[in-house]
Amino acid sequence: MRRAPANLSKDENAWMISWLRESNKSNSNACDSATRSSASADWTRLLRSHQKLDPMISSSLHTFTEEFDTQLAGMSSPTKKTYVGTERCGLCRSQLPWNGESDLDLWALDFRAALCLEPNNEDTIAITKIANLSDIYDQQIDVGLTDNHQNQSITICHYEQRFYVNRTHPTAYCFHAWCYEILIQKAERCTESKIYKLSQILSLGSEVWENRHLHRQQTENTSAEVLRELGDRHQPVSKLLRLPAELRTMVWNYIGLEAAFSANVLVAEETTRLLCSRISIKMLTVFGTPYIQSLADGCFSAAIPGAVHYLKFAMVYGGICAIQLYGSDWNTSWLRVVPKSGGTCSDDQILWDQPDIPDTLCDPDKELFDFKRDISPSYERPKRRQLSYFGYLPLFSDNEYVTGLTVYVSGNGIIGIESHFTKRSRLIGDRNGCPKYFPFHSGEQIAFTWICIINSDSYAFAAPTVTIQTTFGRIHTFGPYILPQYVMNNKYKWILLDRPGSITGFYFEWQKSPVIMRVGVTRESNSAVTGNPNLEFTACNAPYLPRVGPNAGLFMSVASLSNLRKVEFCRVGTRCTGLKLHYLQAPTAVLGQWQTAAFSQHVSMSHTNGLDTMGIRFKFSKSGDHQVATDISFGADTTDDCNSTYSHLGETITWWFSRFDDVVRLWDGQFLPVPKGSIINLK
């Protein structure tokens, strides 16, 4: 270890900086803890004894001290091993909420994982401590280990299925913490090794789930030839396919070819409302197979003697047909009928997610927008129609038109759509990504709808977003911000869903992709829509945000702070996500992200409690490269805070946002008409 010189003159500046560099190198090569401790003490004494050195030397001292501390930290703690987490729970096989959001089922966010610290060494199998998926950041989360590895931690990454093929990290078999507690309570001598092997066996690849509709059971008895063909297609994904053909025939004759399992464990956060009651089961028959539609307290022969700890259910084609209830020391028999074979559907069957479908949708496949058919020149229509499953979202409920519409959008496209009414809401898809909310004024309806896609013949760019124009002339885009030059250079296309009458609902086809790809609308034929479609786009300067950008995950909203009657704040956790602005005369507008009261907190402010002050301040909190709004207040501009933005009442502002960022600026753009060459009428 080199010692620092005791005294220096100003003429020795250059030598001093050179010495610092060389000494830092020798310090970084020190191996034993005593030497590193001595080196650290030398740095501290040197820094304190030369407070009045030349600024260049002082700056170098601080820089090299920080670098050396970083090196010491790296020597004292080994690099964490990285594992790839599985998509589904290894015990109950339900999808894990890797996006960190689970609506009301908060129990599903707590998880553990089984993993092997050294390849092919069962003695190094470990179980992680409980972690919460709401803490995931940038698709990664650090998790501690239990038992003999309590001082260690590992990193679990989540990658989408399409990135799984060439991964180099080992697998962490994840499962709900609740499922783990049930397992160790019911199974004797359930070691870490057994849990690891069980999760490994039950972790089927995605191909089995995605292709479960490719093979349909036409008769009650399945031939061994059909099973061998299915096995050849799925090998080597499913461990079930390693069984002899005779055993596979018996299994699939019981559960049907399209079911992955005959029975699973279903966990729930709260079942105390059924305590000591008599359960009533409402059934729904679909193509001859009875399914459980709902459970309620009512007259039925099965009484519930105590708290329900977990359920077991039998299913076919994704529907639950029978259940068993389990307590700490009791269980019921199978309630309703366990199916002996799967149901069947015709090859061209059309299925809907609800019974009240408009009569005009007799051929939904023909009416909705389809990229391959309507855009791609090389598309050839199938000779016969295939099995299709559609979802419908009505915009009317009890003679009331929607009061608001939320479209959940990610960087890849639309994930879900939710219609809001005075007393209820209706969701199709998932609450994932960024919610883009549009409030409707009394008497306002959707007059025109456009589907926006990238101008390309490739289906890889076919995920659409939606733009609407209302009967009041307001235009709203449920999609990311698009650079103006891309619009002017015809990089995007807008397809006008041209039908007579105001829009009464959206429908789309359910597919394997989580992103909605095929969208259509229904209209009220006897209603007249006045005015012409007037499509506009926004031209302004977009901020830089890490890992998102224009055309990919960066969203914007614009609103005026003039003539306000009331303002509502929306808060999710510690983040202020958006504002709902109620005007004295104009329709309501939203800045940022707005979520319903079930998933956020709303605070209202009017003229009586301070809305007539001079302006509004947005306070931000930073974490790494990201910043989010954490507080919003009205008042005079009395502070000079670099982590806040102040806007005067009467100004027009833009709120830029992504899943992890918020930026508020003064409006500096304009609305321009979309070139006519970029608009297509779909008739």
Q: Are residues 408 and 522 in the same domain?
A: yes
The predicted pLDDT at position 179 comes to 81
377 vs 108, higher pLDDT? 108
Among 326, 358, 376, the domain boundary falls at 326
The residues near 516 (Cβ < 8 Å, ≥ 6 apart) are: 413, 414, 415, 416, 417, 429, 463, 464, 508
The predicted pLDDT at position 383 comes to 52
Q: List the single range of 67-81, 352-366, 556-570 with lowest mean pLDDT.
A: 67-81
The residues near 205 (Cβ < 8 Å, ≥ 6 apart) are: 237, 238
Q: Is residue 5 part of a domain?
A: no
Q: Is residue 383 part of a domain?
A: yes
Q: Are residues 47 and 94 in the same domain?
A: no
Q: Are residues 94 and 67 in the same domain?
A: no
Q: List the single range of 113-117, 198-202, 397-401, 412-416 with lowest mean pLDDT.
A: 198-202
Q: Are residues 425 and 462 in the same domain?
A: yes
Q: Are residues 642 and 592 in the same domain?
A: yes
Q: Are residues 378 and 442 in the same domain?
A: yes
264 vs 459, higher pLDDT? 459
296 vs 536, higher pLDDT? 536
| Helix residue ranges, H only, 450-585 | 484-488
The predicted pLDDT at position 188 comes to 66
Q: List the single range of 196-200, 277-281, 451-455, 464-468 with lowest mean pLDDT.
A: 277-281
Q: Are residues 523 and 374 in the same domain?
A: yes
Q: Is residue 674 part of a domain?
A: no
The predicted pLDDT at position 162 comes to 37
Q: Is residue 322 part of a domain?
A: yes
Among 255, 273, 295, the domain boundary falls at 255
Q: What is the mean pLDDT of residues 444-459?
A: 86
Q: Are residues 69 and 86 in the same domain?
A: no
- Using pLDDT thresholds of 50, 70 and 90, give the confidence band for residue 438: very high
Q: Are residues 226 and 247 in the same domain?
A: yes
Task: Please give the structure tokens belonging to residue 247.
Answer: 């055993």
Is 372 a residue whose pLDDT tops 50? Answer: yes
- Using pLDDT thresholds of 50, 70 and 90, give the confidence band for residue 79: low
Q: Are residues 460 and 390 in the same domain?
A: yes
Q: By residue range, what is the domain housing residue 32?
A: 10-76
- Using pLDDT thresholds of 50, 70 and 90, give the confidence band for residue 211: very low
Q: Are residues 615 and 647 in the same domain?
A: yes
pTM score, whole prediction: 0.55
Is 340 a residue whose pLDDT tops 50? Answer: yes
Read off the CATH number of the domain in which 515 is found.
2.100.10.30
The residues near 321 (Cβ < 8 Å, ≥ 6 apart) are: 289, 290, 291, 292, 313, 314, 315, 336, 337, 338, 339
Q: What is the mean pLDDT of residues 651-663?
A: 93
Q: Are residues 72 and 86 in the same domain?
A: no
The predicted pLDDT at position 531 comes to 73
Is 105 a residue whose pLDDT tops 70? Answer: no
Distance CA 570, CA 579 (A): 6
Among 504, 530, 556, the domain boundary falls at 530
Distance CA 256, CA 196 (A): 28
Contact 417, 405 (CB under 8 A): yes
Percent of the chain scored above 90 by pLDDT?
22
Distance CA 26, CA 646 (A): 50
Q: What is the mean pLDDT of residues 256-272?
A: 37
Distance CA 538, CA 330 (A): 63
Q: Is residue 466 part of a domain?
A: yes
The predicted pLDDT at position 229 comes to 47
Q: Is residue 676 part of a domain?
A: no
Per DSSP, the residues of 278-295 read BEEEEEEEETTEEEEEEE
The predicted pLDDT at position 662 comes to 94
Percent of the chain scored above 70 by pLDDT?
63
- Using pLDDT thresholds of 50, 70 and 90, give the confidence band for residue 405: very high
306 vs 473, higher pLDDT? 473
Is 259 a residue whose pLDDT tops 50? Answer: no
- Using pLDDT thresholds of 50, 70 and 90, give the confidence band for residue 330: confident
**What is the domain count for the chain?**
6
The predicted pLDDT at position 509 comes to 83
- Using pLDDT thresholds of 50, 70 and 90, give the confidence band for residue 67: low
Q: Is residue 613 part of a domain?
A: yes
Q: Is residue 403 part of a domain?
A: yes
Q: What is the mean pLDDT of the chain?
A: 73
Is 344 a residue whose pLDDT tops 90? Answer: no
Q: What is the mean pLDDT of residues 656-675?
A: 93
| Helix residue ranges, H only, 279-434 | 364-367, 371-374
Is 681 a residue whose pLDDT tops 60? Answer: yes
